[in-house]
Amino acid sequence: MQNVLRSLLVLVCLCSGSTAWGVEQVSQPVYKVVELLEVMMPLVDGTRLATNIFLPEGNGPWSTILVRTPYDKRGSDNKTAHFFAERGYAYVVQDTRGRYDSEGEFSPFADEGKDGYDAQSWVASQPWCDGNIGTAGASYACVTQWLSAPRSHPAIKAMVPRLTSSNVYEMMYHRGAFELATIGLWALKTTNPIDYGRNKPRILAALDSLPLVTLDIVASGRKIPFLRDWISHPAEGAYWRPVIVDDEYGDIDIPVLNIGGWYDIFATETVNNYVGMVRDAKSDKIRKGQRLLMGPWQHVMSGRFGRIGELQFGQDSWVDQRDLQLRWFDQILKGALNGILDEPPVRIFVMGENRWRNEQEWPLERQRATTYFLQSETGANSRSGDGALTTIQPNTAVRDTFTYDPANPVRTKGGALLGIADGPHDQGEIEDRPDVLVYSSAILKEPIEVTGHIKLILYASTDARSTDFTAKLVDVYPAGVSEVFHLFSYRTWKKFDDVFILIYDVMKSQIVKPTNINLPGVLNGARTTYAATKTLQRKLF
């Protein structure tokens, strides 16, 4: 297969600092905790969900925090439950339908909108709830918040979604390509964690099996119906409609504190949720109630000591998110005047410079777009080629080609992933492959910051019926180590004998005719700091 490549993109924004989100007065741990465990909460359809309730000792009623999770309510959330209950909150954590002690069949995401609304109604009706509910949780427990949010339960006054998406289709099919290592492995691990732990090598080897729909049998010897359904619905349509709410932001009349990580697989979606809520807010009050926090973290939120992947970002990169959520709920649910809604709405960690910075908006109004072009003379294959990334538009078009062998794929290493070599990792081994096109800038004369929109315009042709194109923006260190800033991909579904255009955009990817190329984009937050010794690279394969 041959691919013809040319042209590109990106951003560059030089920014000033500002004060940090402070830790002001918060509720203090003055209450003993009363535990009501294994309460079976009835849904409207009669299914009962196992629920643990943690109450401050006393008469109440109390502002309440609701967490709905498929990962066992008896887990680490109980420590968080005590933290909040000691500070005057009722804390409710619940197994979602079909998980652990809850009744019903587990069909991930499908029932979370209506089940979430039913749970909110039940909690609001309890004598220990004062009618003010905040939702919280990360990953899947964040999706449960978004899917129920457009139903607009009047008791829901605040949300804190962390590290996830409000569009389940995009979670499954990232720019058209099924997230095999992420969603496939998640399905296998979630439905049988013991087997996953014992047989992980066999399960990982099964990722190479075809047809994809039989992955469950090859990996575990059993069928997983919901995984087969996902694989059988590769196009966004009616099947996915109930689990997509990123076009319903205008129906969500709630202040939202969005928390994400630059190296989280859902980094783009976290940012998009903030942007969408600000854009479509029903009122100025709700618009001003939106917040975004983006750190250098992965999905699992490791890095307490500052190390993410192969890089050290410093201990200041860690944020005690429990304390931050406490301030958020104190002001919105309890009415405490702690100033959190008076602070700048956006706070980002600038990697490389390794410091936090407050901003007034996203995207940043002062960002400055810079166009780079991909070019070569004899060929950009591998980092030994002469591929160049330059701001000077070439006078002639030169074709760069590579042959893709599906039996020898270029495996992802590093980037915004879910648990498999996520975070920044050296790309040297990948750059040595002849089926990877590498375009490098000249050595930088001064630091530059990459914060904001990233977009790639790719001119290509292929003789394959279906193939994937991926691109990485990479920071090359003085010793030649290449650490990935950002990765994006796109899948084509038909053969293109003529040149076509792919617009790689963190928000949308499209195949278009060579006219009207102008799409909005989103993302990144990094700064190169080794002036005169670093380069930037764009890799395509």
**Which pair of tokens denotes residue 413?**
């290493």
Judged by DSSP in three states, 172 sits in helix
Parallel/antiparallel/unpaired status of strands 290-298 and 256-263: parallel
Alpha carbon 475 to chain centroid distance? Answer: 21
DSSP H helix total and E strand total for the chain? 13, 25
Catalytic residue among 299, 425, 453, 486: 299
107 catalytically annotated = no
CA distance 537 to 482: 8
CA distance 187 to 193: 10
- Dihedral of the CA atoms 221, 222, 224, 230 (nearest 10)? 40
Kind and range of the H or E run holding 137: strand 129-138
Of 389, 533, 486, 451, which Cα lies nearest the Cα of 14? 451
Catalytic residue among 264, 422, 426, 475: 264
User: Which residues, including other chains, have CB under 8 Å from residue 252's CB and lie 6 or more apart?
Assistant: 149, 150, 152, 245, 277
CA distance 277 to 370: 28
174 catalytically annotated = no
Residue 494: exposure state from Cβ atoms within 10 A (0-12, 13-18, ≥19): exposed
Per-residue three-class SS string for 294-343: EEEEECCCCCCCCEECCEECCHHHCCCHHHHHHHHHHHHHHCCCCCHHHC
CA distance 352 to 447: 10
End-to-end Cα distance, the chain: 11
233 catalytically annotated = no
- Which phi and psi angles does 8 have, rounded to 5°? 170, -160
- Which phi and psi angles does 242 have, rounded to 5°? -65, -15
**Which pair of tokens denotes residue 225?**
């119906």
CA distance 123 to 157: 13
CA distance 213 to 465: 19
Instruction: Tell me 17's DSSP state.
Output: -
Contact 310/428 with Cβ under 8 angstroms? Answer: no
Residue 68, CA atoms < 13 Å, CB-side half-sphere:
29
Residue 362: exposure state from Cβ atoms within 10 A (0-12, 13-18, ≥19): buried
Which residue's structure tokens are 């009669």? 46
* Residues annotated as catalytic (active site), given as ranges: 139, 264, 299
